[in-house]
Structure formats: structure tokens, C-alpha cells
Amino acid sequence: MRTARKGSVEMPAFVRQLVKETEKRVSSFFKGGRGGAAEGEQPGKGEKEEVIPSPYLDRPVLDKLMEEGCARWGLTYALGSMQGWRANMEDFHNCVPQLGGELADWSFFAVFDGHAGSMVAQYCSQHLLGHILATGGMGPEDDPEKVKGAIIEGFLQTDKHLHSVARREGWERGGTTVVATLISPYYIYFTNCGDSRAMLCRSGQVCFSTEDHKPYSPLEKERIESAGGSVSFQRINGSLAVSRALGDFSYKGAENRTPSQQMVSPEPEVCVVERSPADEFLVLACDGVWDTISNEELCAFIHNRLRVCTDLRDVCSQVIDLCLYKGSLDNISIILLCFPGAPQLSAEALHQEAELEDLLESKVAEIYNELCARGEEPDLLSVLTVLASTAIPGLPPGGGIQSKRNCIISAYYQQRETHKATVPNGLGGS
């Protein structure tokens, strides 16, 4: 059984080399072609664009924070988090596999996706659970209505206390979305406030997922306009891209309206799903994941990876890499929770994985040699481009060719080193 273990995992050297070699060719695409203003920030116009700091970096920060642990009732979990292309890391999390006392068989996990600064997300990650527990609505009787009420009240109390801290510390512009799960012996409580998302996979299929809170959603838009706001460019007042969050107090000043009736509501949506022996795994992730992959794709990909990986941290790392390679520009954070019914290591799946990687290595060698024979420089992007248009059987479902890029990159550098031994100056660049 896994025990808690934390620390930073260094990215592979060949990935660092990839970033170095392709930086100039892709940075304009990432920063200009698909970039936009950060959540909570007004986009610049015309001549002002040059003086407004970019929310994106020239190269992504690829180091990952990893964590894993377990609960005594059979749950195992892992967290993976990476800054990516964002100028700052604004994601935080909270993993409590056992609450203790009469709630020793209860677990709590949450992802906090901050915007316009990280302080609100950090504060909420440290205090939200305490406010939920302080309501007294959770107990051995496991009454769903009482627990739902406790969660909602805990969010409202967190936002109330946060407001006084924000005024004192100057955090009025900052906010955070929250996606969380509270797991009891009988139920799974899904809590969402914003556009992060939770997903439950049961019997190999998506069983449940939370709904994102976006300003252009009909009910959210109605509340925003009733509070005196507007929705333009799919944002509140043309600026904030989420309609529910903790913090963001500059959007919560409408008089004679309750906290839940403000332009930005701190009230979460809480859904209850009865537990089943067929439950396999549960995912909590920020929008840096969901912007690039659907519920069904991620369910299929993780289901497949659990059959070839025993380390849940490795599975989280592969999801992060997949989202980055598919074009995610945001911070990327994911918590993977595995129930006793999760897919197990499979000898057949391991054999298929080995065959796939052998095939990819041979394809890379074939492409490399063909480019050399034509007198072309076989740089990495050229090899990737050719390979992406090649039919490859057996790729991980939901992941495609992007999910095997690390294998491809490694194979490319092996080819380059081999050719350096026969060609004096090499062909792959410095």
C-alpha cells in the first residue's frame, strides 16, 4: 500500500532539450496565436499591448510537483501539478485521505485554481475544509442533505472570512475556483465553484461530471445581469472568465443582494452520487486540463494507463504531458483518486505497450533516415510532423500520438547520437 510521499520530480533531460531547440519556432504561436488575457485581467488594446506584461512565458516551466498517498479503507491517490506556459503558478490543492475522529473513513480532496494572483487560492486551500467541518453537518449518520448544507455553508463562511483578510492584505482583485470531493463510506459528494471539473469513471465509462460555471451559461448570465453586470467576450464585464469563485470581491458589491446573488457567486454546486463497487477512479482537475481534453477522452486514457502503470504519480505526469502537448497554456493540476475497483496491471496491456514503443522507435528511425537521404536536416519538429501524419495502430485511447511524444523524443535523440558517430558534425543541430 502506498504511503504519503512528497517532492519535486525533475523533468527528463530530453524534454528540456526539446524546449531549447523548438522555443523560437513555437513561442510566437503559444504567446500570440492562441494567447489571451489572464482571467481577471482586461485585455490590452493597440499601442498598450507592449507595456502590459504577458501572462505567458517564452518557454514553459516543466518541473512537476508530485504527491501520493492512501486511505485505510482502500483509496489510493496521486497529485500532479505544473506551471506550464503561465507566467506564475496559481494552482493549489488539499489532499486529506482521512479526516480523523468519527470521520476517519471520510476523505477530502480539492483543487484551487487561482486568478489575478495566487494568494486567494493559497488561503482557501488552507482554510476551506476547516470551515466546512466547523458547521457540524457531517457525522456518522451521513445524511446527504446535511452534508450538502455543510459544504455550501463552509464555502460561504470561507468567502466571508476571506473578505476581511483581502481588505487587509489587498487581495480584492484575486480569486479562485474550487473543485472538491468529499468521500464518505456511502456517498461521493462533488462540489464545484467555477470552471474546474470533477469526473467519476465507473465500469470504464464516465458516470458523472460537474458542470462548469461560465458567464455565458443562461442561469449564470441572468444572475450577472440582475446584479448590474454584463457578459461580453464570454467574460463578466469583458474581464473575468468565471461566474462563481471565492474572492473576486470587486464583483460582489451589489447592494441589497445576498452573496449568492452577486455577479460572482461563492456558492458551490453540490451533487451526491451513491458509491458503487464498480467505481474505478475519480479525477479533480483545473481548466488547464479540460481545455484540451474531453471527459470521455480522459476517462479512456487513464483507464488505459492504469493497466500499464503501477505508480499513480506516473499516470498524473502522463496526463499533464498530454495536455501540454495538446496545447494547454494554463497551469495544469490533477488529482487522481483510485477506488478498490480501479483497473489493475495487465500482462497483455504491457505487451501491447512494448510493441507500440518498438513500432514508434522504428518509425522514427525510418523517417530520420529518409530525411537524411533527401539531404534534409532531420530536426525534431520535422520528424514529429511526418510521424503525426502516419497511421500508428495501438495508440492509447483518448491520448493519440501526443501521449507518446516522450517516447518519440527519446527515440529521436537516440537516432541523432547514432548518426553523430558516423557523420563528423552531426545533423541534428546543437
Task: Give the DSSP per-residue string, 16-76.
Answer: HHHHHHHHHHHHHIIIIIS--PPTTSPPP-GGGGGTSPPSEEEEEEEEEEEEEEE-TTS-E
User: Three-state SS for 199?
Assistant: strand
pLDDT computed for residue 405 by the predictor: 94
pLDDT computed for residue 237 by the predictor: 97
pLDDT computed for residue 75 by the predictor: 97
pLDDT computed for residue 51 by the predictor: 58
pLDDT computed for residue 174 by the predictor: 93
Rounded to two decimals, the pTM is: 0.87
Rounded distance between C-alpha atoms, residue 401 and residue 385, angstroms: 11
Rounded distance between C-alpha atoms, residue 336 and residue 255, angstroms: 41
Q: For the chain of 430 residues, list the mean pLDDT of each consecutive stretch of 10.
A: 38 43 40 40 47 86 98 96 97 96 96 96 98 95 97 98 91 92 98 98 98 97 98 96 97 96 98 98 98 98 97 98 96 98 97 97 96 90 92 96 95 91 54
pLDDT computed for residue 424 by the predictor: 59
Q: Is 22 exposed, middle or buried (0-12, 13-18, 19+ CB in 10 A)?
A: middle
Alpha helices in 200-294 (DSSP H): 218-226, 287-290
Rounded distance between C-alpha atoms, residue 57 and residue 23, angstroms: 11
pLDDT computed for residue 218 by the predictor: 97
Task: Give the DSSP per-residue string, 331-361.
Answer: -EEEEEEE-TTS----HHHHHHHHHHHHHHH
Domains, the chain? 5-12+64-338 (3.60.40.10), 347-420 (1.10.10.430)
pLDDT computed for residue 54 by the predictor: 87
